[in-house]
A and B are shown apart, each in its own frame.
Chain A
Amino acid sequence: MIPELGHYALILALALALVQSIAPFVGALKRDGTLMQLAGSTAVMQFGFVTISFAALTACYVTSDFSVATVFENSNSQMPLIYKVTSVWGNHEGSMLLWVLILSLFGALVALFGGNLPAPLKANVLAVQSWLAAAFYLFILFTSNPFLRLPHPPFEGRDLNPILQDPGLAVHPPLLYLGYVGFSIAFSFAMAALIDGRIDAAWARWVRPWTLAAWTFLTLGIAMGSYWAYYTLGWGGFWFWDPVENASLMPWLAGTALLHSAVVMEKRNALKIWTVLLAILTFSLSLIGTFLVRSGVLTSVHAFANDPLRGVFILAILVAFIGGGLALFAARAPLLKRGGLFAPISREGALILNNLLLTTSCLTVLVGTLYPLALEVATGAKISVGAPFFNLTFVPLFMLLMSAVPFGPLLAWKRGDLAGVTQRLTAAFVLAILGGVATLAAQGAAAGLASLGVGLALFVMTGAVVDLVERTGFLRLSPAAALARARGLPRSAWGTAVAHFGLALTLVGIVAVETWASERIVALKPSQSVALSGYEVTFEGTTDRSGPNYRERVATFTVREGGVVVGVMAPSKRSFRTREMTTSQTALMTRGLSQLYLALGDVERDGAVVVRLYDKPLVLLIWIGAAAMALGGALSLSDRRLRVGAPRPAVRPAIAAE
């Protein structure tokens, strides 16, 4: 009964989506208020029905209803409740349902908070949003129905893939999808603007908060995924240049570019055509990411879907929306009026450079991700493109971008003074050079790249601080006056500084781990020790334990620093009964911002265990930096001028002028 209810609710959502695809669109054409307003209620109702559908599926998982095929395939009655819930999206069908749940959520949010949007724009946005929704409902109902029943319900389920039985699954996919799917709003706004043939600064003011919110979630989602891979896979790596990771990095890069170009459009009414194109491209990359992961064209840890029909269906969706979006852009973009003038050396110019480097680095990631697929289709040769490729292409471009970051916020709009800005960045230059030289002195010439990284990170960090100091007049004015100005400073200015600072923190973490991490791989017998960077790790022995759906052999290690015990680490091997699969649980010991990382390898003869021990200095900065970037996004989002539902008197003239 419950699965049928969920299935039925999804079909009703599809019916509503079909209505919403057409009615508001016609309404906007004929300027018919009733038809246009219809979109608001259908969007909210769609969200309601998809929520019912999702809740029904969750109920099937929680109650372990193995008559439902996907529950049988991916769940088990012995699993803890949290994994029963997360296994809802730990498989292809359920994750697509999560995708449309978030899509319909964003649709409903536009309907609810878009009260001050011009009616035709809102109607068109919701119509486009509904085209997307309808396509994905059809995809789920025809190729990936999570509610299909089994004729003979089995007694026990086949369990969730043990690699996914981790709290990371509770957080990573929802955050990532909030990011991916959030960019659909920017896409819908871009399409609506093109359909209308009109676009202005107010449009950018509406698009920016949605883009910012999506970007913030995507940043957190990628960081969370990276940390999850770091502690799960047992190699201590934080980024593998796996196609699935690249699939999430590409929309992030394009979304970052969009975020910055939307600023230019909002403040200066320039870069309109480019911003619209970026909005289309960013969401297209989200769709490509979904396609790469969902169609199973890739061999990777994440690609747990394998069905050609699905691939063709997603490919059709991809062609329709990306092709359609770009075709509409080609046809209508010339109608959009050009805006403000500016000199090449100006805030606008800096943001164009930012966009140029971000999109180019995004392109290199795209090439590295798709080239193996293209080559295989064309010649049958199979290759793998890994870290070496991206280190030689993406990294130099991104370094170049980072060296320009501190200049942007300090340059004036319209016509900037590069010499003046360079002068104001003197402190940053000095610190950067000192940091780089200190690194070289400490590490020798072999650390050339590291010293460059340290210098660059210090430059960006100091640049962010200088930006805030300049804006608040901290050194020029009295503390009280500076404090007052700090309070009066727009939140978006704080957001910019915090996000840029976070980017530099991440760079410090990456440089530190790549340069100063050390590792030992040894076989240890009980009471034997291994020494690594000042720590002495002693193997005490193993104990067996039983979990809800697995047996576990835990190895205990005592960690000493200078003869003093500083902690105990207990990595383990889990054998899952149902899938006859073994996973390794790594043990982490956090010391300040650094971590000691211990993973069990295979068991050797005579009770010895193979251990991989890593010292990861400052590794936590990688994710703290990402969190700071997200915090910057959130700060900027809380800016009064940008708040989603806040009334905007400044917008009125634009509407009145219609």
Chain B
Amino acid sequence: MTRRQRRLALIGVSGLVLLAAVGLVLSAMRDSIVFFVSPSEIVAQHPAPGTRVRIGGLVKPGSLARGSDLGVRFAVTDGTHDIAVQYRGALPDLFREGQGVVAEGRFEADGRFLADTVLAKHDERYMPREVVEALKKAGRWQEGEAK
């Protein structure tokens, strides 16, 4: 094998591996990416049932209700619209009414939102960026309110 042939072989193999990687990335992009939406956007867009989304906003004060067997219901609000969320499991340490929250899950055919992951803010100063964006869009955010 000459140097030239070897280099061609190397470029060929590298190209194949890269092509495979690009193929994997593109197919994964289609199936495994989750969009973040605010309650107002959901009301405007009506995501199709089964789509995975993350909803961000504040836990609406007074909306938290505990059912039997660890079931929890609460509403996520951006001040303009509310979205009812159902969740089953243990809530994070910093989950509180009136505080920022991000819920990830799917819409059912009957319009209910079933969350499988609930994230709360990390400390008393920090607010998930997505929540801040959702509140800003709804005009409910004053700069300097929190970091």
Contacts and interface: CB of A to CB of B under 8 A. Distances in A.
Interface of A: 161-163, 234, 299, 301, 304, 306, 341, 343-344, 352-353, 356-357, 360-361, 363-364, 367-368, 371, 381-386, 388-389, 391-393, 396-397, 521-523, 573, 579-584, 599, 601-602, 604-605, 610-612
B124 interface: yes
B36 interface: yes
B42 interface: no
B14 interface: yes
Contacts of A381: 35
B97 interface: no
B133 A382 contact: yes
Contact of A582 (B29, B89, B93): B93
Interface string B93-131: 111000000001000000000000000001110101110
Given A392-B27, A584-B93, A382 B130 contact: yes
Nearest to A301: B122
Contact of B130 (A299, A371, A612): A299
B48 interface: no
A161 B91 CA distance: 20
Nearest to A163: B122
Minimum-distance CB pairs A-B, first 10: A601-B90, A388-B32, A382-B36, A392-B28, A299-B129, A393-B24, A389-B32, A610-B90, A360-B21, A389-B28
A364 B10 CA distance: 20
Contacts of B54: 384
B35 A382 contact: yes
A383 B29 CA distance: 11
B122 to A, nearest CB: 6
Main secondary structure of the interface of B (DSSP, over half): mixed
B27 to A, nearest CB: 7
Given A343-B1, A344-B9, A602-B90, A610 B70 contact: yes
Given A299-B130, A582-B93, A601-B90, A386 B25 contact: no
Contacts of A522: 70
Contacts of B14: 356
Contacts, number: 107
Contacts of A344: 1, 6, 9-10
A343 B3 CA distance: 10
B43 interface: no
Main secondary structure of the interface of A (DSSP, over half): mixed
B124 A579 contact: yes
B66 interface: yes
23 contacts: A299-B129, A306-B147, A344-B10, A356-B17, A360-B18, A360-B21, A364-B24, A382-B130, A383-B36, A384-B34, A388-B32, A389-B29, A392-B32, A393-B21, A521-B89, A522-B70, A523-B70, A580-B124, A581-B94, A581-B124, A583-B93, A599-B90, A602-B90
Contacts of B143: none
B129 to A, nearest CB: 4
Contacts of A161: 122-123
Contacts of A234: 93
A277 to B, nearest CB: 13
B128 A392 contact: no
A580 B93 CA distance: 12
A361 B21 CA distance: 8
A384 B1 contact: no
A582 B92 CA distance: 10
B43 to A, nearest CB: 17
A521 B70 contact: yes
A354 to B, nearest CB: 12
A388 B123 contact: no
B85 to A, nearest CB: 16
A396 B129 contact: no
Contacts of A580: 124
Given A388-B28, A581-B124, A602-B95, 5 more contacts: A360-B18, A383-B36, A389-B33, A391-B32, A582-B94
B32 A386 contact: yes
A343 B10 CA distance: 11
Q: Which of A393, A522, A523 has the most CB of B within 10 A?
A: A393
B112 to A, nearest CB: 21
A599 B122 CA distance: 17
Contacts of B10: 344, 352
Interface in B64-98: 66, 69-70, 89-91, 93-95
